[in-house]
């Protein structure tokens, strides 16, 4: 069976490393490749697949596009307005979103405390998934800090539609950071010293990036605080995809070890 990750850019993706490690650990004769597919190109790619294809992982800019092309969509993908997973079977495609439960699992692996409020840096599709995960864990006060507040409207709508009815507010990156968790979905170069300093009172930092590492925000986390990394998120969402595609429990430890090894060989930008 064949699987792949699609997106643009895609050369940096660790997904092939993680999924192939899972196949090797379970002795599965499956393949997993990376394919560059730009925005607007997903329908044509799907049209060229045959019955040997089982699943696709989607990264930017295809997550919202994928949700609109599937024959069936899961509740959480519909809630997020984006799909990072397509299960191919019977000539159709089931769209799902493993970013949401993957983010919740990554956070719970590192932090067992209560989550009642959180600040999210950024307002795109990843911020939506992380925000929904935080709401799943109990957060009822979500604050989005973004560079352009008007561009976060879609994310705000999705977060407010969560069954927990969280209060969602929007501010700029220059405003205070509050809550038990701060989740960053912004580029490392946007994490200036002033922003990092405003995050120091928050006990849990969820940095969704995994390269370059550490980001300024991640580097600021000492032993008295909790750090959840982008690799944690990537491994947990990939493990959920692995099970969706193969029907087998994912070998999480083997996938994480492979991811760590691959990152260790990457040059620092």
Residues forming the active site? 63
User: At 94, which helix (H) or strand (E)?
Assistant: strand 92-96
As a residue count, the chain comes to 269
Extract the tokens encoding 191. 């994490």
Residue 224: CB atoms within 10 Å: 6
State how far the alpha carbon of 220 is from the alpha carbons of 25, 154, 161, in Å.
35, 31, 33
Give the distance between the most distant pair of CA atoms in the chain: 53
For residues 181 and 254, give the distance between their C-alpha atoms in angstroms, rounded to a whole number. 28
Q: Are 63 and 83 in contact (CB under 8 A)?
A: yes
3-state helix, strand, coil split of the chain in percent (to 5) is 40, 20, 40
Q: Are 75 and 96 in contact (CB under 8 A)?
A: no
Extract the tokens encoding 222. 């000492």
Q: Are 95 and 86 in contact (CB under 8 A)?
A: yes
């Amino acid at each position: 069976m064949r699987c792949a990750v699609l997106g643009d850019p895609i050369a940096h993706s660790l997904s092939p490393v993680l999924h192939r490690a899972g196949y090797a650990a379970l002795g599965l004769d499956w393949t997993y490749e990376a394919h560059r597919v730009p925005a607007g190109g997903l329908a044509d790619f799907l049209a060229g697949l045959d019955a040997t294809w089982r699943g696709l992982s989607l990264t930017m800019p295809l997550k919202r596009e994928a949700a609109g092309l599937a024959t069936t969509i899961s509740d959480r993908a519909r809630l997020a307005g984006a799909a990072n997973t397509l299960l191919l079977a019977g000539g159709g495609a089931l769209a799902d979103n493993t970013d949401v439960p993957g983010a919740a699992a990554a956070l719970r692996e590192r932090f067992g405390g209560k989550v009642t409020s959180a600040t999210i840096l950024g307002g795109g599709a990843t911020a939506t998934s992380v925000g929904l995960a935080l709401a799943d864990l109990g957060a009822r006060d979500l604050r989005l800090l973004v560079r352009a507040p008007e561009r976060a409207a879609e994310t705000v709508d999705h977060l407010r539609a969560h069954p927990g009815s969280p209060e969602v507010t929007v501010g700029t990156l220059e405003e205070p950071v509050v809550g038990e968790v701060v989740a960053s979905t912004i580029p490392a170069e946007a994490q200036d010293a002033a922003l990092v300093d405003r995050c120091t009172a928050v006990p849990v930092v969820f940095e969704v990036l995994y390269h370059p590492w550490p980001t300024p925000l991640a580097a600021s986390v000492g032993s008295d605080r909790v750090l959840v990394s982008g690799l944690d998120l990537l491994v947990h969402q990939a493990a959920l995809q692995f099970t969706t595609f193969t029907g087998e429990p994912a070998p999480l430890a083997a996938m994480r070890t492979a991811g760590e090894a691959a990152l260790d060989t990457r040059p620092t930008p």
